[in-house]
Chain A
Amino acid sequence: MSAPQEILLTADGISKAFGSFYALKGVEFELASGEIHALFGANGAGKSTLAKVICGHIAPTAGTLRAFGKPACFNRPRDAMDAGIGIVTQETSLAGDLSVWENIILPVYGSRSKPSQSVLRKTAKDAIARLGFAGEIDIERSCEDLSAAHRQLVEIARIVALGSRIIILDEPTAALSPGESARLFKVMDALRAEGRGLIFVSHRLEEIFAMTDRITILRDGASVKSNLTTADLTQPELIHLMVGREVEQLSPEEIPDTSGAPIQLSLKDIRSAPEVRLVSLDVHEGEIVGLGGLVGSGRSELAETLLGLRTLQSGNITLLGKEYRPSNPRDALIAGMGFLPEDRRRQSIVPDFSVRENILLSHLSQLSGHRLRYRTRNTRIDELADMIGLDRARLDDSSLLNFSGGMQQKALVIRALLLNPRVLVLDEPTKGVDVGARATIYTFLRRLASEGIAILLISSDFEELLALSHRIVPISDGRTIGTVPAGEINEEQLTLICAPRSSHEHQNALLSRLAEQFGVQAGWVMTAGRQLLCLTRQGAVEGASLPDPGLVAPAEDAAIATALARDTGHVCDEAGGQQSLLMVIENQRGIGMGSIAILSGPGKSLDPAAIREAAAQSLSVFEEGQLRLRDAGPTTEREQ
């Protein structure tokens, strides 16, 4: 932190009630110039609500906000903007049809001043240049064509152009690959150095420790600890503060072997363009399969295809051993599928129905006669309510909207289970759900699986995905990438696998440089268990080749089998007279992020020292020091 600090923002006793539910309870918070301040907490702890209060999107019920030493009472986002507070939200708020520069200067349109177009263009260009992306983002392009990472930068540029000194970043890395995140962090560093105050909303521990100066921890809407210095904390302390108790071991659960159980849901080469391109996966009876993908990967669209909400263009689905081609959700329900949609408010809750009738909605759809027969489900509803820990008395409340997120979700899980489905598709089951209810839902889902229900779990929370699933099927750009046992992969590796293809630009540049320089084939590979994943490859040689990108093949069949088996970091002789070299890549914290695999043509030999040197140098150029080569030697550990 730079020395002379000025307090930019203080929040004192901020509370926000939605009906009878308090999303924020007396939050204390302070932001100084030249610092990055983390708002940390579990999903539903109130981080985003606090961010929205600070930037004037919602008005607090109680408490005072002071910005730049003056009481700040924002009635609308514009007020906060004028006061110098900007926010970058998770879902970007860009106008897709407008060009980059128009988006950057958009707030000007809302004000009285009318600068000329050339002035506005220059403002936009300067803002992009200040972030260090001058050559990379063309300000005349339409925002629709930009990658998620670039869109975010455009939003930041908008705030920079406005001259905001307080910048809120709400889960900015949720949709980014590790490389893209790293570049974002550089931008954040630069903004901090300019003396701005950044509020960084996140639930990712590594990012918080790497980036922030101070932390405020929220739990169930209250600030448990305010303005702690990050450097004084350890990870376990932080987790402890977040959940308020020792975290239960997340995956001590013995993963049952379900490989012999019948396959309940099988997708083969499913296509529903443009979002779902090529998806194949199996879910066995009693198995929880996690579909891991970033925002925009096609995971929710896949769920919609399974429900018959999107047309299946090609491929086969088998449900409970029968061919399955749903044309609407009712078909899906009757065929034995239960579904929990992602967006409760938009896709699930019927606001004018009582809690009980909301639960009965799935029952209503499969009635063949005209009579309601609501009573026939009472016993089952009570039973499920007891199992999931929802007070029976609350079932007769007149509106589901007065429930907390966790209770709403419990009621909706009951709805999904009411018709006794054999296959359950859950889209973000713990989004906006408090920690307590979350644990209950986890336990409940495990119990369902143990009773033989096949569960397809979709979640952008990779920690949850890895903890709950038995197997992970990564999905990226609408294509599934094989399958990985949950215990053999960590969050960072999964993020890397799931990163959209466009994020591999850097890696491709690095690999093709190596391939050209040494006349070899170069690829970025990862191993998970006995399986090999090739993320991307460049160059070609005669003879055997590295696996096609995206495919997971058994490691022993790969062209670099010997290298993988020995993994010494030295040149190995492969079948067909080819030679191979594996160089392990690690991030700054020493976690393996895959390897660069080099494969020579038949009869040609490799010069390991020269290649290593070139690779190390390229890495420092292309990955900007975020990744490096792990030291080679006979002691090199296998990743994972």
Chain B
Amino acid sequence: MKQTLTRFSSVLEIRMAGLTLLIAIALSLASPYFLTASNLYNLMDQSVVVGIVAIGMTFVILTGGIDLSVGSVMGLTGILLGLALREFPIPIAIFLAITSGAFIGAISGTLVSIFGLAPFVVTLGAMAICRSLAYVVSGQRTISDLPASLERLVYDSFLGLQMNVIILILLYVLAWIYLSRMKGGRTIYAVGSNKEAARISGLNVQFYTILPYIVSGALCAIAVTLIAAQIGSIDPLAGNGMELDAIAAVVIGGASLFGGRGSIVGTLFGVLIMVMVRNGMNLLGVSPFWQGTAIGTIIIAAVLVESLLSGRSRRK
């Protein structure tokens, strides 16, 4: 039974793990610094923010949607967090930030699910609105009067791991359990794979089309909270360009933009591949101007290989 459920995804995940390992070996051969402890910590640290946003993106892409607003939602919720921290204790401020992220997601999700608008258009609009609001609310200024204890979210350590890495791992475990072992997760897959069949079989298509956007918005707020904790200030420009990294990670991780196909473990490997390649190029002294070309090539190659390997032509 368990085997059936995850047969397809495990094949995909094994492939992704293999690819990740291959890249890691190549980089460690190319650069003596790659496998050092400090660089590995560095890798994990760099995976946190994009990793968290990519979870929400996986949810959305599994339903066949896309969320272009993640970067701007990070900017806006970050500013809201900064303002809230002036009035409230840390946990309440974080809670408010997460709630506002979820709320923005709920609006986008509702427009997509109930009014039937194209996810691309809705989240493109949300992207512009949220970034603009971030500037308006912050008065174009960076908020730097954050309480000092906020940094414990990043720098406390447990079992030798930094707190932000622990949060990342925890979120991945929760997302994995939800998507593969719970009703809501399987419904999200079913909706993305064949919406009409899901509807006729009595699944709550509307709600489970909205939910991924809520998850994505809330996770953006968590991600920006960790950025604030790490650098000690919040900029309205936070998360700029994050949507591309997150979508790239999900797609490299084997998800189909048509929905229904992909996995949270695949996304994690997608994040690791992206971060490793960036890191490796920095270690090797590749010009930052060439890095975009390299990442872009990897995205396209990964999708091409995946579609050749899985050998199934999509219906759409």
Contacts and interface: CB of A to CB of B under 8 A. Distances in A.
A56 interface: no
Range, interface on chain B = 20 to 34
Interface stretch (A244-252, A343-351, A594-602): A343-351
Given A332-B202, A357-B4, A365-B202, A347 B196 contact: yes
B64 to A, nearest CB: 11
5 contacts: A329-B200, A330-B203, A333-B202, A339-B200, A357-B186
Contact of A369 (B183, B194, B199): B183
Contacts of B260: 350-352
Specify which of B4, B8, B181, B261 lies most central, judged by the most chain A CB atoms within 10 Å of its CB. Answer: B4
Contact of A372 (B4, B182, B200): B182
B142 interface: no
B53 to A, nearest CB: 24
Contact of B197 (A330, A347, A371): A347
Interface in A378-421: 378, 396, 398-399, 415
Contacts of A350: 189-190, 193-194, 197-198, 260
Contacts of B202: 328-330, 332-334, 362, 365-366
A349 B197 contact: yes
Which 10 residue pairs across A and B have the least CB separation, nearest first? A365-B202, A330-B202, A352-B193, A352-B260, A329-B202, A361-B201, A333-B202, A350-B193, A365-B203, A350-B194
Contacts of B182: 370-372
Contact of A361 (B1, B184, B192, B198): B198
A341 B261 CA distance: 24
Given A353-B189, A375-B1, A330 B204 contact: yes
B5 A354 contact: yes
B86 interface: no
Given A351-B315, A370-B182, A372-B186, A364 B201 contact: yes
A420 B194 CA distance: 24
A375 B4 CA distance: 12
A44 B105 CA distance: 46
Contacts of A378: 1
Interface in B190-237: 190, 192-194, 196-204
Contact of B7 (A330, A332, A347, A354): A354
B123 interface: no
B187 interface: yes
Given A357-B186, A365-B201, A369-B183, 6 more contacts: A333-B201, A333-B202, A350-B194, A351-B260, A365-B202, A374-B5
Given A339-B200, A348-B200, A356 B315 contact: no
B13 to A, nearest CB: 15
Contacts of A398: 4, 7-8
Main secondary structure of the interface of B (DSSP, over half): helix
A3 interface: no
A489 interface: no
Contacts of B7: 354, 398
A334 B312 CA distance: 35
Interface string B20-34: 000000000000000
Contacts of A374: 1, 5
B200 A309 contact: yes
A627 interface: no
Contacts of A341: 200
Interface of B: 1, 3-5, 7-8, 181-184, 186-187, 189-190, 192-194, 196-204, 260-261, 312, 315
A281 B203 CA distance: 28
A348 B197 contact: yes
A535 interface: no
Contacts of A367: 183
A307 interface: yes
B182 to A, nearest CB: 5
Contacts of A329: 199-202
Contacts of B261: 352
Nearest to A361: B201
Interface in A303-356: 307, 309, 328-330, 332-334, 339, 341, 345-354, 356
Contacts of A415: 201
Specify which of B7, B181, B184, B200 lies most central, judged by the most chain A CB atoms within 10 Å of its CB. Answer: B200
A291 B183 CA distance: 36
Given A307-B200, A333-B202, A365-B203, A353 B183 contact: no
A352 B183 contact: no
A515 B190 CA distance: 61
B200 A364 contact: no
Contacts of A352: 8, 189, 192-193, 260-261
Nearest to B201: A361
Contacts of B193: 350-353
Nearest to A329: B202
Given A328-B202, A352-B260, A370 B1 contact: no
Contacts of A357: 4-5, 186
B197 A361 contact: yes
A341 B196 CA distance: 10
Contacts of A349: 194, 197
A346 B187 CA distance: 17
A214 B8 CA distance: 49
Contacts of A370: 182-184
Contacts of A375: 1
Interface string A437-480: 00000000000000000000000000000000000000000000
Contacts of B1: 356, 374-375, 378
Nearest to A330: B202
Contacts of B187: 364
A348 B190 CA distance: 11
Specify which of A333, A339, A351, A367 lies most central, judged by the most chain B CB atoms within 10 Å of its CB. Answer: A351
B113 to A, nearest CB: 14
A360 to B, nearest CB: 9
B185 to A, nearest CB: 9
B200 A353 contact: no
A346 B316 CA distance: 11
Contacts of B8: 352, 354, 398
Interface string A542-566: 0000000000000000000000000
A415 B202 CA distance: 12
A374 B196 CA distance: 22
